[in-house]
């Protein structure tokens, strides 16, 4: 939930003159996304989303993110369509910050995902990977294996405040991941943050994927590992093999996995768990005392990491190669 | 800004079965209201607002608030129209809490009010007072003069942390207000919180008044005093007599003030300043350390109080009787 920046009426009216989407009749800050300020903008032509980018998003990356959304849309993935300005650009400025307007997507994100949802997510992820294949521009993943040792050292010994022995255990795990990370697998555009709150459904049909602000160029199946972690564990910590089987099966129906990709899933899932564990741990240790926004529990990902450490092969995720 | 409670998809679908407004296609938490959780609910019939009431609103008062909105709507005031359930009721339950669905109002609240806005607010306030005149049910104002001494004592000597000598000064002022409070003036339904963020405009036309959760039965012109404070001071603290003249003039065009009401405006304005000063002071002294939501500055209302203390008569607000 986040509205950090507000927009003045006169400025909004002025901003809309640069577009061909009518006049604003309402504009409400919405509780969506944690990095930027988002507004549900109603014009006399319909609903849109106005995003004002806060400092956690590198403004140099914005043309890539907006270009990616336009590219994926053009290739049939349901995701926000950046609205083109009259001057041909996608990026504007509002309240002294970068801003963009994108199409509004109907649908709601599933608070309690079912196997049918994970099936649709597996399918959409494969579609995203295929649709992104011919995007020439690349963006490095700043939160992949090469970043983890540094992130862990920023958390430091204080990690043990969260769980006794955590710092040493994570140091060992980072070493393992650095030594065993699969570098030779097929690469391309990944979403890198396709959690349930970033995927909309109408009934049981997937109607949209949002929030491309962690998207980057990386190992494709690493994205699948992120989704396994985000979608296939139950609130009590149990791994739901039915959900995983649906996700992997639907992905493979659209994009076949190589043997190497399949075999790499457990180590990629450990890495995916490490990435979210570390950023949550950092936020946990550095959030202001008494803040109203409670940081997410890093231990959720510690338990997911432990699950994957015990996995003998990718068949543990419900399907044989 | 507030979304405290979320609503599950299945529960939302179930909730909508009790209404005749179609099926949900999107539901987004919005940054509106500080007491309740509000969602912009899009159904296949259009947009609505779903409110889940949090504990700061007394659920025993909800039928009165919803009945008031329905009554004001029926009498032509643009405000949210509570949607009637198939069973005839206005109140539902969602996520274990009371909930209601109301109509969506187009418009945006003015971040920088101009005299034309204060004119329309004065007019709407008089319309609200007239429309509410024949509402039989009453609701006492729990934040009026009889509550201030107790509220001040809850802030106590710590008030001086905000401003040196504040506690003694406010004790004296509360004594003055108790001694001089005008009890014999015309009473009726007042909004009691008609700040700029509760009034929507399309261009310069008032399109809606929202947030009736402080509404109550009290002295009518006290509501006008609250609006003078909320709308007619500039960010630098200066009183804008043009805005006040527009507001009072428009009010009186629709509802004439008695001599007693006119003469009572300065003491009512001091009381209105005291009411918001005290609740802000209480929140300031009791908010969690480091909280991301910064409480509003009580000193803003200290300066407004000081202005009204120096006023010789209501003509200082721009109009003769």
* B47 chain-A contacts, CB cut-off 8 A: 42
* A198 chain-B contacts, CB cut-off 8 A: none
Q: Could you say which DSSP state residue A90 is in?
A: S
Does pLDDT of A56 surpass 80?
Answer: no
Q: With an 8 Å Cβ cutoff, is A48 touching chain B?
A: no
Record: contact A112-B8, CB cut-off 8 A:
yes
Q: Residue B107 is encoded by which pair of tokens?
A: 């418009």
Q: With an 8 Å Cβ cutoff, is A30 touching chain B?
A: yes
Q: With an 8 Å Cβ cutoff, is B28 touching chain A?
A: yes
Record: contact A31-B288, CB cut-off 8 A:
no
Residues 6+ apart with CB under 8 A from B55: none
| Beta-bridge mates of residue B218 | B188
Record: contact B108-A24, CB cut-off 8 A:
yes
State the pLDDT confidence band at A1, using cuts at 50, 70 and 90.
very low
**What confidence tens digit (pLDDT) does each residue in A101-114 have?**
999 999 999 999 99
Q: How far, in Å, CA of A52 to CA of A101, rounded?
A: 9
For residue A287, how many other CB atoms are within 10 A of its CB?
A: 14
Lowest mean pLDDT among A136-140, A190-194, A268-272, A292-296: A292-296
Does pLDDT of A183 surpass 90?
Answer: no
Q: How far, in Å, CA of B243 to CA of B231, rounded?
A: 8
Q: Which of B1, B26, B40 sits opposite A107 (nearest CB)?
A: B26
Cβ atoms of B85 and B66 within 8 Å: the answer is: no
Residues 6+ apart with CB under 8 A from B30: A28, A29, A30, A31, A40, B3, B38, B39, B40, B49
Predicted pLDDT of residue A53: 92
Cβ atoms of A254 and A130 within 8 Å: the answer is: yes
Q: Residue B251 is encoded by which pair of tokens?
A: 């009010």
Rounded average pLDDT over A156-183: 96
Record: contact A111-B9, CB cut-off 8 A:
yes
**What confidence tens digit (pLDDT) does each residue in A260-279 have?**
999 999 999 999 999 999 99
**Does the domain at residues A9-103 carry the CATH identifier 3.20.20.70?**
no
Predicted pLDDT of residue B1: 41
Point out the residues of chain B with pLDDT beneath 50: 1
pTM of the model: 0.82
Indicate the Cα dihedral angle A55, A58, A62, A68, nearest 10°. -120
Residues 6+ apart with CB under 8 A from A42: A24, A25, A26, A27, A48, B47, B106
| Beta strand spans in chain A (E) | 24-29, 37-43, 46-52, 92-94, 97-103, 187-190, 199-202, 205-209, 216-219
* B8 chain-A contacts, CB cut-off 8 A: 111-112
Predicted pLDDT of residue A3: 60
Record: contact A3-B1, CB cut-off 8 A:
yes
* A6 chain-B contacts, CB cut-off 8 A: 111
Record: contact A3-B32, CB cut-off 8 A:
no
Predicted pLDDT of residue B58: 87
pLDDT: is A221 or B6 the higher one?
A: A221
Query: Where is B7: in which H helix or E strand?
Result: none
Q: How far, in Å, CA of A190 to CA of B312, rounded?
A: 69
Q: Where does residue B157 rank: exposed (0-12), middle (13-18), buried (19+ CB within 10 A)? A: exposed
What ipTM is given for this predicted complex? 0.72
Q: How many CA atoms does the CB half-sphere of B3 hold within 13 Å?
A: 18
Q: What is the CATH number of domain A115-317?
A: 3.90.1200.10
Query: Where is B103: in which H helix or E strand?
Result: strand B97-103
Record: contact A200-B32, CB cut-off 8 A:
no
Interface-testing mutation among A8, A22, A25, A198, with chain B (most B C-beta atoms within 10 A): A25
For residue A237, how many other CB atoms are within 10 A of its CB?
A: 12
- Chain B nearest-CA distance from A181, in A, is 38
pLDDT: is A161 or A55 the higher one?
A: A161
Q: Could you say which DSSP state residue B224 is in?
A: H
Q: With an 8 Å Cβ cutoff, is B110 touching chain A?
A: yes
What is the largest distance, in Å, between two alpha-carbon atoms of chain A? 61
Mean pLDDT of chain B: 93
State the pLDDT confidence band at A289, using cuts at 50, 70 and 90.
low
Q: With an 8 Å Cβ cutoff, is B310 touching chain A?
A: no
* B210 chain-A contacts, CB cut-off 8 A: none
Q: Residue A14 is encoded by which pair of tokens?
A: 């002025």
Q: How far, in Å, CA of B314 to CA of B319, rounded?
A: 8
- CA-based nearest residue in chain A for residue B104: A26
> What are the sequence ranges of the domains in chain A?
9-103, 115-317
Rounded average pLDDT over A62-90: 96
């Amino acid at each position: 939930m986040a509205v950090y920046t507000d927009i003045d009426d006169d400025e909004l009216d002025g901003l809309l003159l640069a577009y061909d989407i009518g006049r604003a009749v309402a504009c409400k800050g919405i509780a969506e996304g944690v990095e930027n300020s988002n507004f549900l903008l109603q014009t006399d032509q319909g609903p849109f989303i106005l995003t004002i980018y806060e400092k956690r998003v590198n403004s140099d990356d914005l043309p890539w993110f907006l270009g990616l959304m336009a590219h994926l849309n053009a290739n049939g993935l349901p995701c926000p369509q950046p609205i083109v300005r009259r001057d041909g650009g996608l990026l504007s400025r509002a309240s002294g910050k970068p801003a963009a307007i994108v199409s509004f997507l109907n649908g709601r994100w599933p608070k309690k995902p079912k196997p049918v949802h994970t099936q649709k997510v597996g399918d959409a992820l494969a579609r995203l990977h295929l649709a992104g294949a011919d995007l020439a521009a690349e963006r490095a993943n700043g939160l992949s294996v090469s970043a983890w040792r540094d992130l862990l050292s920023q958390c430091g010994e204080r990690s043990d405040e969260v769980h006794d022995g955590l710092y040493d255990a994570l140091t060992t795990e980072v070493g393992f991941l650095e030594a065993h990370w699969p570098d030779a697998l097929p690469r391309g555009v990944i979403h890198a943050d396709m959690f349930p709150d970033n995927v909309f459904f109408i009934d049981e049909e997937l109607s949209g994927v949002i929030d491309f602000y962690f998207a980057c160029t990386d190992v494709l199946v690493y994205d699948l590992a992120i989704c396994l972690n985000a979608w296939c564990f139950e609130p009590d910590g149990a791994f739901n093999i039915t959900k995983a089987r649906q996700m992997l099966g639907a992905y493979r129906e659209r994009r076949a996995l190589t043997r190497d990709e399949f075999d790499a899933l457990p180590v990629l899932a450990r890495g995916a768990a490490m990435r979210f564990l570390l950023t949550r741990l950092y936020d946990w240790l550095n959030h202001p005392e008494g803040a109203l926004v409670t940081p997410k529990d890093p231990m959720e990902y510690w338990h997911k990491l432990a699950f994957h450490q015990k996995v003998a092969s990718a068949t543990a995720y419900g399907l044989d190669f």
